[in-house]
Structure 1
Amino acid sequence: MNNKIFSDSAFIKTLKVFLTTVHHSGPIQDSIYHEAIHYFQNEPLQTEQLHNLQQDRNTALHELENNDKDSLNTKLKNKLAQADQLLKKFKLQIREERLARLQKIKMLANEIIDFCYGDNLEETNIRFAKVLGCQLLLVPTSAKAAVRYNHCNKHLYRAVLSLKLFDQLLAEGLIKNKFVSESYALSLNNGSDEIKQRIHIPLVIVSLLLDIGNFHPDAQAILTGPEGKLDELRALDNDERIALLKINYQQTINYITEGLGLDQYIGNSKAEKAEFDQLEIQKISFIKDLLLKSVNPQQGIGNVIKVPQIYTSIVMSSKLNFAYNTVPKAFLILDKGVERNSHSQIAVDTLLKITGLYPQGFGITYIPKDDNGDDLPRYEYAIVNRLYPDDPHAPLCRIVTKNLTFVSNGDDVTLNTSQNLYYPANRKKLEQISPERLKEILSKLWSNFEQRQQETSLIPSCWQPQEYFSYAKHQNLWNKTVI
């Protein structure tokens, strides 16, 4: 693969635009998260300025009301009018900045949703698989780089996963929430746009902004220390962790309600305005309900946020000890949470039904079989590329090597537990092969084997396909083939 040119498909280019619009580490601070940081940093000064202008206006009014000299009336009225104008202008500026932030994230949420849905359920499932899979496939192979990448890019993954989990729970009648039920009934009568505007967009916004409070100065003081020199991704002690959780929750609520707030009706109909304003109040109430219940969801609506949040924290981990081969262990963590009654068994089981044990885009190493169904003395590479496996332990995959040669037109297959090298028993099957032959196999699968041969076992439990996926011709892992 050395002589090929790295490039991105149109789909990947669009996905990367979404990722950088949400959050990025570049010098131009124009992302959703940068806007929130700017809001948090300027909020105290803005509050002080607003208070001073209100005080100036109140002082001018008081002077006018207590004036007993007609000769000063005109001057005092002008002073009050000027104070009113300055106050009004400043409030208008605050509102315009708030609405600009709100419109940007609503537009982004709308575009993300459109990106995930097709013309039918089959196409929609493929698109969700593709959006999730591409994000994992873009994660750098270096653990250090992967952690930094995930720190900026996990928000979109979490939002897309929350959207899919919500839809599945709703389709199975497993969501008991009045606003959701009313919105779903309206969507059946008026079209799918009702559920999109009333539920999907608020859900995506909450998922995208779930960590936004961590960027408040008080939270950053904990994460980076008083002098700002500590690594924000370091492990926190228990007191720091609890304090951070409180700040994140409070400031996330603050940003969503005050930094974004309610949308503004545009039009001349009083009846339409009243209906619009009422719906905005319902949506912000739904958003606050999602945030509140995501902290301790148990069996409630908060599971559509909490369960994907935990899953994403493993798959797109931003912990300094992140290791790629731990990615399939997300459900072990989720199951422990169920045992503690911190989230719903139903939600976890539903997510497992959607994703299986192996996330979209995960690199599977497996033992191929001959025409008689017997194991061949080698392993090959595949990539998980479909949701809803019949067996959560047997992922739906695209084969990407044949006879130890990379291909871009492999078949889609179900890889059962007797083939998958993630299971130690299967790796033992290959231990009878000589080390020389195993090195030969690995040298054909790694373009820079000589530099990297010390990095992994000669019988790898999985592989990281980021380099393979770096070429546009390999990025269409989701085109339809016969399974």
Structure 2
Amino acid sequence: MALSFGKAAYAKVVQRLIERIYHNSALQDSIYEQAVSWFAGQEQRQQQLANAQQQLFLFENRQQQSSKANQAAITRNLRLAEAQQKTLEEEIEENNFLRFQALQQLCRDILSLCQGDTFTETNSYSAKMLGTIQLICPTRGKNIQKENQKARHLYKAILSIRFLDRLVLDGLIDNPFIIDRFQQSKHLHYHDDTEYHPYRDDVHVPVLMAAILQDIGRSHPSCLAILKGPEGTFDEFRELDAQERITYLQANYNATLSYVQEALGTGRYMGRDKEERDRFLQTEIEKRELIIALIKQAARPASELGNILKIPQIYTSMILSTKLVYNYEDLPKAALALEKSAEQAKLDQQAVVAFLRIVGMFPQGYGVPYIPKDSDGHDMERYEYAIVTGLYPPELKKPICRIVTYSLTYQASARGCVISAENNLYFPQARRKLEFIPEERLLEIMRKLVYNFEERMSSPLLPRCWHPDEYFINQKNQNLWNKAAMLQN
């Protein structure tokens, strides 16, 4: 069932999705908290199963070797051992199913927010989710790393399905299972909750699952010990040395595969038709195989399936960075870093081009200062603020934005704008256009645009970016993605 919410509540809905994936709460019910609990009890479960199997084996042997006088007592003990083993296995299976069900529902809820009935609508909804994640995450202060760690799983998951769609449309995916489900779904309505939709249910949901679970191994005790130290006193966001990093990545990868294969069940067939049931169970196996293949091949980014998770993972790690040194101004460099990796053949060239076609150079929710034009198309002698709000920009360096200040006054957003590199203050050629303006005038512009005095004191007179979080925190300013007239700048 699709999530329902009002305009002002949208950011809260996105925050809740983030918390359902990665959170620290008394309920311990997020996907990553469930994993911490599962890994912590893994050894005990294995021991319980081993003990139950040993008991069963023991009584089976005794039954074969005992006299008739002892048969009745041994049979009772054998049946008791069988019942105990069955109960234990059923309990494990039920818990696995409940974890799978919670993850599946989470993925369906994500899709209800980022998937529309048309290509344009879908990209608008996805831009809204990605931009909202960026805008509710802090870009200054002490909690950047922790909040980015929570949010990056959802961010990467949305990018992964949008990237998958682009690769399929460009003919860069030849996986038979994915292509078959895509072809089957071309004329089906995406959001019919009562009907089976092959591409949504068999491809989009598993890709979202794989993206969310890709780093689930970090919840394993061995990974936590590396990140936080044996006593839990280390800063988990510190830079690991080379050997620690290799050990951590290997442990994370192995634990992730273990979790997917052992901690998660599959869907349950509810009908009575045997042929339909067999098809359902076969599809569940294929979906599980797709999740595992995506995670495994992401470690080999040159592979076709590996790109689906790997490229969004690299990009997200830079946009929602958890490094100790964080510089918001540098976020557009993430796109350039991907380009460089492709040039060096570290990533597939065609895949990177396809990905950058979606995201452009400026991430969703990024604050862009720009030089507006007057009614005659001439540059004005000031700058204004805009926020990046659209995927698929016309060119890499021309972000689709929403204008948020007019004549140096903040207003609820009503107009959109495609900002050229020539008028985007991120680029030196745009800043040079305003260098002739007296310092007093630049200080006056800053006083009108910058929210607080501390930020004003540390900001350059011609800023390369601005921080829109304080603007966005006001609920009336959160409707940045409604339809609006678009200007060219």
User: Normalising TM by the smaller chain, what interval?
Assistant: over 0.9
Q: 1:168-191: per-residue Cα shift (whole Å, max 9, x none)?
A: 111222211121122223224766
CA distance in 2, matches of 1:467, 1:37: 34
1:17 corresponds in structure 2 to 16
2:425 is the counterpart of 1:421:
yes
CA RMSD of aligned residues (A): 1.7
* In the alignment, structure 1 residue 458 sits paired with structure 2 residue 456: no
3-state SS, counterpart of residue 266 of structure 1: coil
CA deviation profile, 1:194-238 (whole Å, cap 9, x unmatched): 101111000000001111111111111111122221111110111
Match of 1:159 in 2: 157
Q: Give, in angstroms, the shift of residue 470 of structure 1.
A: 0.6
Aligned to 1:104, which of 79, 102, 110? Answer: 102
> What is the distance in 1 between the residues matched to 2:243 and 2:7?
44
Q: Distance in 2 between matches of 1:299 and 1:347?
A: 10
Cα deviation, residue 11, structure 1: 1.7
Q: Per-residue deviation at 1:60?
A: 1.5
> Please, which runs of 5 or more residues in structure 2 have no aligned partner?
1-5, 191-196
Partner of 1:146: 144
The answer on 1:65 being equivalent to 2:72 is: no
Greater CA deviation, 34-43 or 110-119?
110-119
Aligned residues: 475
Question: Is 1:478 aligned to 2:481, yes or no?
Answer: yes
Distance 1:190 1:468, change over 3 A: closer
User: 2: distance between equivalents of 1:25 and 1:398?
Assistant: 34
SS in 1 for 2:331: helix
Q: Distance in 2 between matches of 1:202 and 1:249?
A: 18
Is the Cα contact below 8 Å between 1:296 and 1:343 reproduced in 2? no
Equivalent-residue separation in structure 1 for 2:455 and 2:335 (angstroms): 30
CA offsets, 1:385-443, max 9 Å, x none? Answer: 11111111111111100111001133111111111010123223323333332222212
Q: Counterpart in 2 of 1:40? A: 39
What residue number does 1:3 align with? none
- Asked if the contact 2:172–2:304 (Cα under 8 Å) also holds between the matched residues in 1, the reply is no
Three-state SS of the structure 1 residue aligned to 2:142 is helix
CA contact (8 A) 1:8 1:471 kept: no
Write the distance in 2 (CA, Å) between the matches of 1:456 and 1:210.
Answer: 38
Asked if 1:198 corresponds to 2:202, the answer is yes
1:90 matched to 2:88: yes
Q: Give the equivalent residue in structure 2 for 1:127.
A: 125
For the residues of structure 2 that align with 1:251 and 1:342, how far apart are their CA atoms?
25
Other structure's SS at 1:314 match: helix
- Residue 438 of structure 2 aligns with an amino acid whose one-letter code is S
The percent identity for this pair of structures is 39
How far did residue 262 of structure 1 move?
3.0
CA change 1:52–1:133 in 2 (3 A) is: same
Q: For the residues of structure 2 that align with 1:301 and 1:207, how far apart are their CA atoms?
A: 12
Paired residues of 2:93 and 2:265 also in contact (CA < 8 A)? no
State TM-score, norm by structure 2. Answer: 0.94
Runs of 4+ in 1 over 4 A off after TM superposition: 189-192
Aligned residue type for 1:152: K
Structure-1 separation of matches of 2:118 and 2:51: 56
Give the equivalent residue in structure 2 for 1:436: 440
Q: Which stretch of structure 1 is more off in the superposition, 232-241 or 341-350?
A: 341-350
CA contact (8 A) 1:8 1:470 kept: no
Which 5+ residue runs of structure 1 have no aligned equivalent?
1-6
Aligned partners of 1:200 and 1:473: how far apart in 2?
33
1:122 positional shift? 1.9
Residues 306 and 343 in structure 1, CA contact (< 8 A), matched pair in contact too: no
Please identify, of 75-84 and 291-300, the stretch whose mean Cα deviation from structure 2 is larger: 291-300
- Are the equivalent residues in 2 in contact too, given 1:363–1:463 (CA < 8 A)? yes
How big is the shift at 1:267?
A: 3.0
TM-score computed with the length of structure 1 as normaliser: 0.95
1:341 equivalent to 2:345? Answer: yes
Partner of 1:117: 115
The residue that corresponds to 2:276 in the other structure is 272
Question: 2:51: which partner in 1?
Answer: 52
Contact 1:109 1:201 in 2 (8 A): yes
Kept in 2: contact 1:159–1:207 (CA 8 A)? yes
Inter-partner Cα distance in structure 2 for 1:379 and 1:187: 47
Question: Does structure 2 conserve the Cα–Cα contact (< 8 Å) formed by 1:214 and 1:248?
Answer: yes
